[in-house]
Amino acid sequence: MELETQFMPFTHILFDLDGTLTNPRLGIGNSLKYALRQMQIDGYSDEILEKFVGPPLQDGFKNLFGLNERNTTLAVEHFRTYFGEKGLYENEPYAGISELLEELHLSGKRIYIVTSKLEKYAKMIIRHFEFDRYIDDIQGAEATGKHSGKGQLISELMERNRIPSSDLVVMIGDTYYDMIGANENEISSVAVCYGFGTLESLNACNPNYMVETVDELTELLLGLIVGVGDIFGDDTRHPAEKSVLLVENGQAQHGKGYDQDRSKGDDHFQGKAFIDNSQHTFLS
């Protein structure tokens, strides 16, 4: 059986910043090391950086280093001292992101950024990379760290821009904070697997779509068809090898059959869509 379907024509696209549009690994890492030196904290591993991307800074220092309120405030101040002077520029867009933003802008999409990063730094970054020419609005965190949960940030941006909850509104991010925020606001979600979030944590949030590269994200957002083939035929290949089958709200559609939980042994996708680059056509 062959099916053809078109991906959702999103009208309002909300992007996370770190790990989605840009790779801040060097700047955040150096800022974190500077802050920890000032706090005389050592003996940590470099892998701890991964856990600092996504949640508010305050949560990272409290939960990962057990700092009290006073020391958390001091550590955040030290972090921002380095980051504000050097760290925010030790950063680079992922390849293809600038072109994607331009294409979305030219196609008439409304583009927003929602980030747990301090808003003034986020604005400096998007101006530095000239993303501001494409962005309609940005919502970042307050300096105090209050009201910085991703769900609340999304809600504030949507309310300010009078965007109603809809499947045509989508949050795109690399961590489960982004996926949870989308669910809380009853909008669609796209998980990108090239950032800082783990595939396991992203899968647990059941995002509507998952992509592995910026090219795949571009295909999804610009409405390409991916993969046409026998969905329920006598195909004994592992789901990860098939060029078809994605399930969106219970409907079989096109995409790359893919399941990280190999123990299930069948085509189990739970509403997630993986993009397959092996073949694609445009709908007329």
For residues 212 and 218, the answer to whether their CB atoms sit within 8 Å is: no
Same domain, 108 and 217: yes
- pTM of this prediction? 0.74
- Residues 69-126: pLDDT tens digits? 999 999 999 999 999 999 999 999 999 999 999 999 999 999 999 998 889 999 999 9
Average pLDDT over residues 124-152: 90
Kindly state whether residue 204 falls inside one of the protein's structural domains.
yes
Q: Which of 16, 174, 178, 267 is labelled catalytic?
A: 16
Kindly state whether residue 79 falls inside one of the protein's structural domains.
yes
- The CATH number that applies at residue 172 is 3.40.50.1000
Same domain, 107 and 203: yes
Quote the domain boundaries for residue 214.
12-18+103-221
**Nearest partner of 121 among 83, 170, 168, 165, judged by Cα:** 83
pLDDT band at 66 (very low <50, low <70, confident <90, very high): confident
Tokens of 242: 């098939």
Kindly state whether residue 284 falls inside one of the protein's structural domains.
no
pLDDT for position 229: 29
Same domain, 30 and 83: yes
Count how many domains the chain has: 2
What mean pLDDT, rounded, does the chain reach? Answer: 78
pLDDT for position 101: 97
Is 276 a residue of the active site? no
- Residues 186-238: pLDDT tens digits? 999 999 999 999 999 999 999 999 999 999 999 999 865 333 222 223 333 33
Tokens 């957002």 locate to 221
Average pLDDT over residues 119-134: 95
Q: DSSP secondary-structure letter at 274?
A: B
Kindly state whether residue 141 falls inside one of the protein's structural domains.
yes
For residues 105 and 81, the answer to whether their CB atoms sit within 8 Å is: no
Average pLDDT over residues 158-172: 97
SS (H, E, C) 1-32: CCCCCCCCCCCEEEECCECCCEECHHHHHHHH
Kindly state whether residue 256 falls inside one of the protein's structural domains.
no
Same domain, 84 and 44: yes
pLDDT for position 54: 64
Same domain, 109 and 216: yes
